[in-house]
Homo-oligomer: A and B are copies of this chain.
Amino acid sequence: MQPDEKRVSNPTLNYVANAWFVAAWSHDLEKEKPFGTTILNEPVVIWRTAAGTLHALQDRCVHRFAPLSLGRCEGERLRCMYHGLLFDHEGSVVEIPGQELIPSSAKVRSFPVIERHSWIWVWMGDPALADAQLIPPAVGLDDPDYILGHGQLDYAAAARLINDNLLDFSHLSFVHAESFGSGPQFATSQANITPLERGIRYQRWIEGSSGTAARKNDEPVDSYMSYDFLIPGVLLMVGGNFPLGTAKQCEGGVPDLALAINGVTFTSQAVTPLTGNTARYFFSWGPHREHGDEAQRDMLMGIAAKAFHEDKVMIEAQQRVIDITPVPQVMPTAHDRGVTLFNRLVDKMVRAERKAPEAEPAAESTNV
């Protein structure tokens, strides 16, 4: 571990820009109703045309900075409703009321935007590098296999602190001892963590468990969970309980999910940095359709509501302490392997982005 890896996140943004960020739920985007948000401290307007196409632009008119999200959809175009400048979906001004000539510099950044898995994904970096294959394989609300509930929370804390939380499940034994009913094993033993190209994989067996609040069992079971945590901050997790001995049978590896007692559940979660010290957290969770129903989904959502509130209380308090700490320096523990691997990956990718001028998000001229 290098010394600078100990630095905590601060309002200076240290996130990969060449990534798909969850900006909203699909159902947030009504036809011809512009949706304004902020990602990586950049105002972004997204809209869905009458024909159903999605577009995303900088949410800032070139004229006097009025937000285009207060504007009006006109076909594939978006009109600023302050003084009427009309933008095409690539960000070029195509009409200035009362003026013939349109300067060629009259453009705002456009962002690649894709709707998938019930989420609206926006690529915040170099559009030339936007590859739909890089969208994490989340499970959408309309997935035929799962019955999912969903929600979101706004955090008065840096996204990186939420990422850190999701990258170290040892906190389950403390923060969520009651809500998730997690036992002490999350903290007393290590998970199996492996690096991925754009994230890390976390896998763990809890042998002889009595299950959790989500899946209680009368008889001891072997509990299994596995998640990928992917750039920019997306967690995709499957979990379930298996007959005692399964962990040993598969040598601590991946079980046949079809053998899960009462089936598995799946959760998709996404952490989006709004500004340097605010973030939006999107989540869905629910049982597999073959073994669960709406009632079980609602029970899981009740647990999630309690547990995610516990995280929010802790992480926002953590942010407040950081804010009054002159030189905050973390002291990583053995459970921070996932945190360290992921943040090292982020740092490496951010450094690479900033070396490559065409991928520099701050240099807007390269993207318009």
Residues on A facing B (Cβ under 8 Å): 8, 38, 41-43, 59-60, 62-67, 70, 79-85, 96-99, 103, 105-106, 161, 164, 168, 170-171, 173-175, 184, 187-190, 275, 313-314, 317-318, 320-322, 324-326, 328, 330-335, 362
Contact = CB atoms under 8 A, between A and B. Distances in A.
Given A63-B330, A81-B314, 9 more contacts: A65-B322, A66-B317, A79-B174, A81-B174, A82-B171, A97-B170, A97-B188, A97-B333, A98-B335
Given A174-B82, A174-B83, A98 B334 contact: yes
A184 to B, nearest CB: 8
A276 B320 CA distance: 15
Nearest to A72: B174
| Chain copies in complex | 3
A38 B324 contact: yes
7 contacts: A41-B324, A65-B330, A83-B168, A83-B187, A97-B173, A97-B188, A97-B335
A154 to B, nearest CB: 16
A171 B64 CA distance: 12
Contacts of A334: 96, 98-99
In order of increasing CB-CB distance, the 5 nearest A-B pairs are A97-B187, A99-B334, A81-B174, A65-B321, A62-B331
Contacts of A97: 170, 173, 184, 187-188, 333, 335
Contacts of A331: 62-63, 103, 105-106
B98 A8 contact: no
Contacts of A106: 331
A118 to B, nearest CB: 28
A45 to B, nearest CB: 11
Contacts of A328: 65
A64 B98 contact: no
Given A98-B190, A170-B97, A326-B362, A83 B333 contact: yes
